[in-house]
Amino acid sequence: MTNAVPGTRTADLTSDFTWGQVPPQPAPGAVGALATPQPLPPLGPLTELAGTTFRGRGFNTIFRPQNFAKTPTPLPVPPDRNANPDDNILELNITEETLEFSSPLGSVPNRGFVQGDIALNGLPYVQKINDVTIPGRTVGIHFEPGVFLNVPATDDPAEGPTVVRMGSIPHGTTIEAQGPSFTAPAPRIDPVDITPFPIGQPTQRIPFPSQDPSNNATFRIPQDLAPFVANGSITKAILDDPSSILRDRIAAQDITGTTVIVLNSDANTPLLGTPADAALVGGGTDNIAFLEGAQSGPNADAARMSSIFWVETVADHITVPALQPGESVTVAGTDSAADGLVPSFTVTATAAIADGTVLDVSYVQVQYTQLVHLNFNGLTWPHVSVATLIPADPIAVG
């Protein structure tokens, strides 16, 4: 398995663009002169992401709706429909991902009527995810352009600083999710459950046969999980809690600090991580007509979304060969998690370095858990995605 989604970096969308305010009148002394530049609003918890491309791996689970009479999904082993409900297919994806952040937007003015104006700043992003479950086969399964924004504290609504994620998903859904950020010595990654439940009744979980890895004749892609169970990539523990993949990686790492960003499309009923916040009155998801459905109910209504991003500082060490002043070498970091997802470091010597010198280094690692509630056929079907991402380009060490 390779370490990155094939392809080249998307152009930095803001490299030749900086948002600003149109001055109400020309600057004194010169017709048409620009106003005096103002300090840019801070990026806050987004600072370490600006202008960086991350690559990595993850895992995705989604119960896809199925109209068995009209568009059945062909499977190697036809399931017994008496023992396996045919209204859905559980798709499991081992994934590779790139997450690219552009340069900061600048000062984005938001005009206020109830309170005074505020200025936002943020980062356009592009997320691309491929399915690599079967060795040698790559299938694109997700493309999402959007913007992360840092929002200052406001009086109306009475709310502290927050982060916003605005994303567009080509299935026909847009999201607007907002929430707080905070720092912690290390991430706390809680379990997440993929088991469906009746709409509005999250405590009444209904397990499906496809959630049993030993059942190889159920409505699931892939059906036969024996090879994945054997190599540890898809196991019962992972299906019971996909976030366990993230915890397993960081258990072997030296994380010296973490910024946590919690985002909810509905802050009054968050799906992950935080208590309800009645002050956050915005946010939500919007779906095209096909997803919303009509009199017979939705085809696949993406009703709510929550995600938690952990922006972690990972301490590492590298061993470099002999270098003379001005010489450079690129070396790999330590594979402490034994999963092959390792950053590289470019060392440029400012003085002579002896062969075998060990240098202390660090890098930014991004992990996330995302939970979407899909509603169809009277149930809410949890759609869970997790990933670990590291810098795609070598990290400069002076």
- Pick the more confident residue, 1 or 264: 264
Which has the closest alpha carbon to 58: 330, 381, 307? Answer: 307
Specify whether the CB–CB gap between 120 and 178 falls below 8 A.
Answer: no
Q: What is the pLDDT of residue 22?
A: 75
- Pick the more confident residue, 312 or 16: 312
Q: What is the pLDDT of residue 30?
A: 58
Q: Is 5's pLDDT higher than 50? A: no
Q: What is the pLDDT of residue 6?
A: 40
Q: Is 286's pLDDT higher than 70? A: yes
Tell whether the torsion through CA atoms of 282, 287, 291 and 295 is positive or negative. Answer: positive
Q: What is the pLDDT of residue 26?
A: 66
Instruction: Give the pLDDT mean for 80-87.
Output: 94
Q: What is the pLDDT of residue 150?
A: 97
Task: Report the C-alpha gap between 199 and 211 in whole angstroms.
Answer: 19
Specify whether the CB–CB gap between 318 and 345 falls below 8 A.
Answer: yes
Instruction: Give the pLDDT mean for 367-378.
Output: 97
26-83 residue pLDDT tens: 666 655 555 556 688 999 999 999 999 999 999 999 999 999 999 999 999 999 999 9
Instruction: Give the pLDDT mean for 239-252.
Output: 97
Q: Is 371's pLDDT higher than 90? A: yes
Which segment of 28-37, 70-79, 232-241, 337-346 scores lowest on mean pLDDT? 28-37
- Confidence band of 14 (pLDDT split at 50, 70, 90): confident
- Pick the more confident residue, 33 or 349: 349
| Domain at 44-310+367-393: CATH code | 2.40.128.20
- Confidence band of 4 (pLDDT split at 50, 70, 90): very low
Q: What is the pLDDT of residue 372?
A: 97
Q: What is the pLDDT of residue 251?
A: 96
294-324 residue pLDDT tens: 878 899 999 999 999 999 999 999 999 999 9
Please compute, for residue 105, the number of CA atoms within 13 A of its CA located in the half-sphere on the CB side: 22
Q: What is the pLDDT of residue 17?
A: 82
The average confidence (pLDDT) of the chain is: 92
Show contacts of 18-21: CB within 8 Å, 24+ apart.
Answer: 18/104, 18/105, 18/106, 19/105, 19/106, 19/107, 19/108, 20/106, 20/107, 21/107, 21/109
Instruction: Give the pLDDT mean for 191-209.
Output: 97
Q: What is the pLDDT of residue 278?
A: 87
Instruction: Give the pLDDT mean for 175-190.
Output: 96
Q: What is the pLDDT of residue 27?
A: 62
Q: What is the pLDDT of residue 184?
A: 95
Q: Is 172's pLDDT higher than 50? A: yes
Q: What residues does each domain of the chain span?
A: 44-310+367-393
104-159 residue pLDDT tens: 999 999 999 999 999 999 999 999 999 999 999 999 999 999 999 999 999 999 99
